[in-house]
Chains A and B, each alone.
Chain A
Amino acid sequence: MNHSEKAALDKDNTLIQPAVMPIGVGQGGDSFINEFGGLVTDNGHASDEIVIKMTDVSKWYGDFQVLTKCTAHVHRGDVVVVCGPSGSGKSTLIKTVNGLEPFQEGEILVNGISVGAPKTDLPKLRSKVGMVFQHFELFPHLSIIENLTVAQVKVLKRSDSEAKQKGLAYLDRVGLSAQAKKYPAELSGGQQQRVAIARALSMDPVCMLFDEPTSALDPEMIQEVLDVMVGLAREGMTMMCVTHEMGFASQVASRIIFMDEGHIVENCSKDEFFESARSERAQQFLSKILDH
């Protein structure tokens, strides 16, 4: 892999300047139809700078292959929605980005840093990649404000007051400043998920990963979480989101990755996906989803 400019790290190996990388698949250039009849283009990116670069990523659980040669680029400011039927590997794919799931083949670069390389300081990398989980996973033994500050203080080494200030600011941003002293069990699902988003944002990440953030929520609470995510997208946060909420996708996504059985079938801009998704599997999926 040639990089025109390496990622800049300060003496503590903290990422201060992301790498500028040459564009893999020419902008607006190489579009092609892959083996599944799916559309792979490079349109719809929000910028030229690549934040997440996955190349031919494959993963096996024992003998069972869960990901096969997955290639995808997420540029700065992109909102990439990863969708597909259950078991297609979407959650597994997104978990490989920050190394929560290891992979056996291929390469993933986040801001120029290789996720799979043995030398990589994974905790440091992960501190700059925010992740929101399906079941919120707030720390139940800590109060809301403690949830927001614990990683800032212990991982990013911020001072208590700075962490608290930042935590409260993001808590206010998601509309929950009144809950700062409460405990997660006292909050509703939608509120907990919004706190989880604030917790990830407090780390000032370079990108945010969402793993089915609304799938465990009661219907009346889905909108409040989606509103926060739409707000984030509109501010230009780089987001990679596994979700079934195609309404959200059609509103703010810049690109769609459609997966089936461990393969990336469609990988194109939002408009291209909704208007001209070619593969049979994508068309089946769309017809089922959009019907209700």
Chain B
Amino acid sequence: MLKTNKKKKHEKPQALLKAATGIVGLDEITGGGLPAGRPTLICGSAGCGKTMLAVEFLVRGASQFDEPGVFMMFEENAAELIANVRSMGFDLEDLVARKMIALDHVHIERSEFEETGEYDLEGLFIRLGYAIDSIGAKRVVLDTVEALFAGLPNQTILRSELRRLFRWLKDRGVTTIITGERGDGTAITRYGLEEYVADCVIVLDQRMRDQISTRRLRVLKYRGTGHGTNEYPFLIGAHGFSVLPVTSLHLDHHASTERISTGIPRLDEMLSGKGVFRGSSVLVSGSPGTGKSSIAAKFIEAACQRGERSLVFAYEESKAQIVRNMRSIGIDFQPWIDKGLLEIHSSRPTLMGHEQHLVLMHDLVRAFSPTVVVVDPISNLFMAHDDSEVKPTLMRLIDWLKEEQITAILTSLTGGGDASSEPEDSQVGVSSLMDTWLLLRNTEFAGERNRTIFVRKSRGMAHSNQVREFILGDHGINLVDVYLSSDRVLTGSARMAQEAHERAAATLRGQDHELKLRQLAGKRKTIEAQIAALRAEVDSDLAEINFAVAERTLRDKTAHQDTNAIFQRRGGKTRTKGATRDPQ
């Protein structure tokens, strides 16, 4: 059964039939698989995985697509091949026993041959034909047919026979993989096999960069169909061959409207009060020691408290170290680990290439199925490499996590340290992939560094424009409002000093009021006293005057009586009162 891949409607009615390889990623690049019923050339230098790819093509064909296959090998023998692919989990012996795969080792030893005149390779054809018929094969691998060049001296015959062989394979309608050694310089294969196999050519490549080897795959040519033309990293892992992108190249993941808490109430508040969207990606970036891991830890704690699983990829600290260190801010991971809600996977970023890390992540995420994935930090993992290849890798990771509705918390170390150097610029490339970007900064002022946090962006929600001070304490993380003094943000001691100052000022103002009131009361008392004194004075004056008046009256009365008495004594008549004034 050939798996057809119907291309878009407007293409020709008979779209090229494709034979799915079942190999993760390869079918996506080729738009459905290798050309069905035609030969495909896979070339590459020694050790880059040609045979593995070919074997997997057969094994998956046999086990997934019910297409038996013949593996005709010219170099290894069957026992070696069986042993080699067992490490990828392929049981060739079983498939051979079930007549799903036929192995045929063609042994060529040049010294055994003596050429005497005209010949052809009909023996090989018969042999292959017999193997194909014996199991009803739909797929054939020739690995590597170039060995014939070493074995047979007459290249003219060989070339014409190879041409005939590929034609014959096409006529038989078997999907064939022919492997070939990479030639020197610009040659695709050492013996120019690409001349005969014109339908599809896939080039494998292994290269070293920073002492880390990465393997790459490129579809050089695919007649009659569109294909991804880039170089794609690939890996040979415990589950066989995987070509990245392991996920689809489309951008059509579901967007959840559910919000989940960051574990820090004040931070949720900054994100319009509800936290981030489930399945979104959150970048926490900052210079060293700004608390990126702690924010991630709170996130994990919140997820665990909700009963969700979290998976942490740590590239700086060991598991034990993380558990210990997070206790210092009041987060205890151990119970969650014991409950199976949290898994911490620590490894060195330089252990392998980032593609391998990515595949490892895929494997672990699939196995653990978390709802929150933390990568701490992505900068270590990816930034060490050339940026141009990092972004696609990271994009694939993020896309995939989104597709799986897994919330991703990615911390990123920025260079520099202070706000003035705009360290976040180094993250611009990555940040476009992120839905929410929390930026942590150190502000240095008045002899100390303090942490600040703000939401640089958060797609799909109103978010705070405020800078908050971010305090790591024994009881976790707290965000406090910063103080603004003239034109700068005050944090730490400066903030506390400012707070104290304001408190003191308030006290002082209170005291001042009281004093004034007291003064006023005092004044009132004084004035009242004065009033009383004046009143008393008036009273006393009045009394004095009354006394004087009384005295005068009395004196006048007395004097009048005296005068009268004297007058009477002189014998005069009683004189009128006025007459008495005269004697004075």
Are both chains from one complex?
no
